[in-house]
Amino acid sequence: MAALRSRKVVELFYDVISPYSWVAFEVLCRYQTRWNIDLQLRPFFIGGVFKETGNKPPALLAAKYTYAQHDLRRLADFYKIPVKMPPMERLMRRENVNSNRLLTAVTLDCPEHLENLSRELWMRVMARDQDITEPASLETAATAAGIPSDTTPQLLSRIRDDDVKAALKDTTNQALAYGAFGAPTIVAHIEGTPVMIWGSDRFPLLAHLLGERWEGPLREMAKY
Amino acid sequence: MCGGIINRFFTVMISSRSRGDSENSELKVTVKETRITVYMYSRQVIQRSFKMAAPIRKSVELFYDVVSPYSWLAFEVMCRYQQKWNIDLKLRPFFLSGIMQGVGFNQPGPSKASYMGKDLKRQTDMYKVPFKMPSNPAEVILIKGSLNAGRFLTAVDMNCDQYLEELTRQLFLRVYYRDEDITEPASLMSAAAKAGIPEDMAKQLLSTIKDQAVKDRLRETTQAALDHGAFGSPTIVAHVDGKPQMFFGSDRMELMAHMLGEKWYGPLPELAKAKM
């Protein structure tokens, strides 16, 4: 009898304020049906990562910010993801953490909505230049993501709960323990060893490490 | 036939031999003749006859500094792909320090630096580039630097650019395979010898590296990269439909292929030139 090949766990640590995290998220969502992987979404807090590592957000260097705007336009076309670099004011808002806490609450309470809500928050902040910090914004996003509207007020109130704040901190610390210094951080578990990969431009390498094939952007699987 | 002029459309299938694939280009030609003569042409003859109709090579500039490890990766990949793609690869040795002074620089913290070491090993393994991290990379990059190497490459570019590719490779092998110096005259002479540059020519070129013309040229190349928005090395500028497209790093190759209308074949290790 043939042995079952167990799925390899691939963790994606991401923050919805990070445009390159959206690219990694969509690519991995497409490939979870092609590769023998168990994709685990881990919303974390990039601000916490920068604080702990002393690494600077790339957007703070003007030439890098300008390049990233251009780079993302090309990647949007290549991957068929409507991603755009948000304006600096949105990137730097302290209240962005509210969206991370909401995603953490969803992870704890109703994880079946995590993928859709993550996508909807990115659509808001990256594709439509909309707020993702105010309760009203988050409520709209939750409803648009298919979370029943009678449960959203309770879910939103969870943003202030200690267990949700602690869980977000915990996920962020897990990423740091893997050596994370930015977003997205992908951790592929290969024969018991965690391999940390940073960014959204190592998919051919990830495929190689997983013993899988990289088949390009798979635009035909775009959700847009 | 009443002896009038007959127009004929001929569709000629031309194989694009330089592209290394079996894709054929079509060329429609109107021929006026009173008599039809059938010739069997060899593929080469047809190619020569219709040379004017061959697609123009797209210019791709690679700005690089031999002190930058990811630049070696980009360099080797582009050298492989100049055999596969309809491109005209222009090597543009520049001065990374000048870039960093121009736009600023965030020095990677310990966790990022540690990651880059692992990433370089994995990427260069996959691409079959014989990379080995030097024992003191901070000293190599930040203290010893690449000013003399950059000027020497510039002098070669100005005078005998047929050696530029191999000299570049030999300098990368020195610093990022054998952990050897690239700042001293003897080091540069050794790299030049391995690159096949005749000794007296190498000596002569080495004597010019402090000339104003060479300094100016290196500065101009660095400025050209800055003008394209460069903030690091490697910086690739692909000229697509008359517009320059700047790509930073060694990991935008597949995207660049897409924009150039070319096919991405991955690492192509069978075309590797860097020998240990």
Compute φ and ψ for B29, nearest 5 degrees. -130, 135
- What are the CB-based long-range contacts (under 8 Å, 24+) for B134-143? B134/B175, B134/B176, B134/B179, B135/B179, B140/B67, B140/B175, B141/B67, B141/B68
Percent of chain A predicted with pLDDT > 70: 98
Q: Is the pLDDT of residue B36 over 80?
A: no
What's the whole-number mean pLDDT along residues A160-178?
A: 98
Model confidence pLDDT, tens digit, residues B43-69? 555 555 555 566 789 999 999 999 999
Give residue-wise pLDDT tens across range B75-104.
999 999 999 999 999 999 999 999 999 998
Active site residue A118: no
Query: Can you tell me the mean pLDDT for B10-15?
Result: 36
Contact state of B246 with A179 under an 8 Å Cβ cutoff: no
Confidence at B41, pLDDT banded by 50, 70, 90: low
- B249 vs A179: CB contact, 8 Å cut-off? no
The mean pLDDT of chain B is: 86
**∠B248-B252-B256 over CA atoms, to 5°?**
105
Q: B263 CA to chain A: closest CA distance, Å?
A: 11
Q: Label residue A59 by pLDDT band (50, 70, 90).
A: confident
Contact B106 A198 (CB under 8 A): no
pLDDT value of residue B6? 37
Q: What residues form DSSP beta bridges with A40?
A: A11
- Residue whose pair of structure tokens reads 């979404």 in the numeric block: A41
Q: Which entry of A6, A18, A21, A118 is annotated as an active-site residue?
A: A18
- Substitution target in A49, A64, A70, A206 with the highest count of B β-carbons within 10 Å is A64
Q: Which one has a higher pLDDT value, A219 or B37?
A: A219
- Does the pLDDT value for residue A33 go beyond 60? yes
pLDDT in the model for residue A149: 92
The HSE-up count of residue A69 (CA atoms within 13 Å, CB side) is: 12
Whether residue B17 has pLDDT greater than 60: no
Q: For residue B253, what is the nearest residue in chain A, using CA coordinates?
A: A201
Owner of token pair 């697609």: B55
Residues of chain A positioned with their CB less than 8 A from the CB of B230? 63
Residues B276, B273: Cα–Cα separation, whole Å: 10
Q: Residues of chain A with pLDDT > 90: what percent?
A: 93
Tokens 């090395």 label which residue?
B233
What is the residue whose two structure tokens read 């977003």? A183
**Does B185 score more than 60 pLDDT?**
yes
Residue B150 backbone dihedrals phi, psi, to 5 degrees: -60, -40
DSSP label at A125?
I
Indicate which of B115, B121, B129 best probes the interface with A, i.e. most A CBs within 10 Å of its own CB: B115
CA–CA distance, A34 with A56 (Å, rounded to integer)? 35
The interface residues of chain B toward chain A in range 116-145, judged by CB-CB distance below 8 A, are 119, 122-123, 126
Which are the contacts of B161, defined by CB distance < 8 A and separation ≥ 6? B91
